Structures are given as C-alpha cells and as structure tokens.
Amino acid sequence: MRWKTPTRSVVNARGSAPVPEGDSIHILAGKLRPVLVGRVVTRFEARPLPKAATDDLVGHEVVAVEARGKNLLVRFDDGRVLHVHLKMLGRMRVEAQRAEGARAHFRRAPPQIALEVEGARVVGNRIPVLRLLRSAAAEARSPDLAGLGPDLLAETFDESGAIARLRTKGETEIGAALMNQGLVAGIGNVYKSEILFLEKIAPRTPLAQVRDEALAKLLARARWLMRKNVAARGPRTTRFALAGPNKWVYGRAGRACLVCRAAIVRIYQGPPPGRSTYFCPRCQS
C-alpha cells in the first residue's frame, strides 16, 4: 500500500519571520495538546537520544504539553519530560497516522523525531535542542530552563520580577537585553524591534536610562501583541491596518518609516555576530 503524504501544518514559521518566538511555541503547544494529551505513545524515535530511552516511552501516556518562553515541554505520566527548542532551523508538524505500508518510506527518509499516538504522529527535523529529562528534579537543574525569566505568555506574568531582572543589566543596551531569555522569556527579533518602535525607545539606550514605568509599558505592549497573535494564528502582525505592511519596522531596512518617512535602519546587537534590530532614527531618537 502506497503511503500518501498527509496534510500537515508547519508551525515554527510565522509569515516572513525565520525564527520562532514565544507566540510561535505557544501556538505549537496548542496544536499538539489535542493530538497528544491523554493518549498513549505507540512509537517514539528521536536522534540522538539513545534507542533504549525512546523505546521505554512506548506505553506511557502524554499528560501535558507546555510552552515556556521559546521552549516546548512534553510531559509523560512517569515524570519524564521531552524538551524541544527549535532555534532558527527546527521544524515540527502534526501528521495523520501513516498506513502500515509506509514503513519502507519512513526508513528512506526518517525524521529526527517521530512521536506517535493512536491516530496521529508528530515529526520534526533540524531540531538543535532535543533532550529527554528524567524527572522534575532534572528539569529544575537544567540551566536553560531553570534560568528562564518570566514568560510573557504565562497566564500570570510576573511583571515586577521581569523588571527586577532587567535592572541587573543596567549598562546593557535595551535591544540586546530584551533578547536575553534569562531576563524575560519569549521575545525575539520581531517583537524586540516592534515594541521598541511603538514605545519610541532607541534600541541602543542603556537599561539604566529607562524608567520602570517605561519598562512596564514595553512589556505590556509585548504581552498584548503576542497574545493577539496567538489568538489569531495567522501571519505575525504588529501593525493592524487595512493596507500596507503588517509590521512597523522589522525587515524594512532602507524603507520609509510609516510614521515620519525617515529611512529605517538595521543594526546588530548582542554577542557576536549579533542579532538584527530595526528602528526609526527619527521616531526613536
């Protein structure tokens, strides 16, 4: 029996943005919950995880799927946690469960990860962070999870905690600090550029020069935009207009600012080689 490629949804890319941000991962978690939660694993393969560890998950139930910042966590009934971070190139999708005759095809082009339950499977490729944590204690010891700042998309966002963490980096440029997931989790290149533009803050401004009230407004703006995009589940949008671009400055270097007509500038911030930041030198002066 020939296996036909099923309908699938690639959920790590939002429009032209190449890197998943917090909203993308929350959307991914939302797509995976009805497929996985409450169902028993019938097959699990993942490279480079040891086969013995992956085989041992067969027969266990998925009890939760969570997003924390840019991290995806799949929890099993024995306390183990599958931790996934897509970074720049990772891809994950949901597929209808393949027919029995598909195994030869599967062997010819195996995905990096294949997690199957009755009726569906989740597959992924080019995932740079893929680990199976043995327990909640192991999760608590994981530096890239335990060290995360408050998640902007958490049901209850710890605004004061995020501001307190940002205050520890007083000499850091705000454009670089917003990308530090240990200070506040979920913001990527797109939201960083857009919220700084909307709040009229220059990206090279040291954090020490930004008042608490301004930081609170900046974080509230990011949280509002991210929640709106999770609910919409369409191309990531920060400019809600009937015509023209759906973003104010991101990806628009050299083009006219939509407010003042000055040329949008692109700079690089953070540890070398740096990450792109777009801004208007007039509106954000």
- CATH number for the domain that contains residue 165: 1.10.8.50
Q: What's phi and psi for 7, nearest 5 deg?
A: -65, 140
Q: Is residue 284 part of a domain?
A: no
State the total domains in the chain. Answer: 2
Lowest pLDDT segment from 1-10, 148-157, 213-222, 229-238: 1-10
Judged against a pLDDT cut of 70, whether residue 101 lies above it is answered with no
Residue 21: active-site member:
yes
Q: Do 80 and 54 belong to one domain?
A: yes
Judged against a pLDDT cut of 90, whether residue 104 lies above it is answered with no
Q: Do 43 and 66 belong to one domain?
A: yes
Q: Do 195 and 237 belong to one domain?
A: yes
Catalytic residue among 33, 91, 266, 275: 275
Q: Do 169 and 135 belong to one domain?
A: no
Confidence of residue 52 (pLDDT cuts 50, 70, 90): confident
Where does a domain end: 113, 146, 179? 146
Catalytic residue among 14, 68, 70, 223: 70
Confidence of residue 97 (pLDDT cuts 50, 70, 90): low
Q: Do 138 and 185 belong to one domain?
A: no
Cβ 276 vs Cβ 266: under 8 Å: yes
pLDDT tens figures, 11-49? 333 333 345 789 999 999 999 999 999 999 999 999 889
Q: How high is the pLDDT of residue 48?
A: 86
Where does a domain end: 112, 146, 180? 146
Q: Is residue 153 part of a domain?
A: no
Q: Do 53 and 89 belong to one domain?
A: yes
Catalytic residue among 20, 111, 150, 203: 20
**Residue 174 CB partners (closer than 8 Å, separation 6+):** 196, 201, 203, 204, 205, 206, 207, 210
Q: What is the extent of the structural domain holding 250?
A: 159-279
Q: Do 86 and 170 belong to one domain?
A: no
Here the CATH number for the domain that contains residue 53 is 3.20.190.10
Q: What's the predicted TM-score (pTM) here?
A: 0.85
pLDDT tens figures, 197-241? 999 999 999 999 999 999 999 999 999 999 999 998 778 999 999
Q: Is residue 269 part of a domain?
A: yes
Q: Do 19 and 142 belong to one domain?
A: yes
CA-based Rg of the chain, rounded to a whole angstrom?
21
Q: Is residue 29 part of a domain?
A: yes
Residue 20: active-site member:
yes
Residue 167: active-site member:
no
Task: Check residues 41 and 138 and name the one with the higher pLDDT.
Answer: 41
Q: Which amino acid is at 125?
A: N
Q: Do 121 and 67 belong to one domain?
A: yes
Where does a domain end: 76, 111, 146? 146
Catalytic residue among 21, 95, 116, 194: 21
Q: How high is the pLDDT of residue 96?
A: 76
Q: Is residue 37 part of a domain?
A: yes
Judged against a pLDDT cut of 90, whether residue 99 lies above it is answered with no
Q: Do 271 and 206 belong to one domain?
A: yes
Q: Is residue 36 part of a domain?
A: yes
Q: Is residue 154 part of a domain?
A: no
Q: Do 254 and 185 belong to one domain?
A: yes
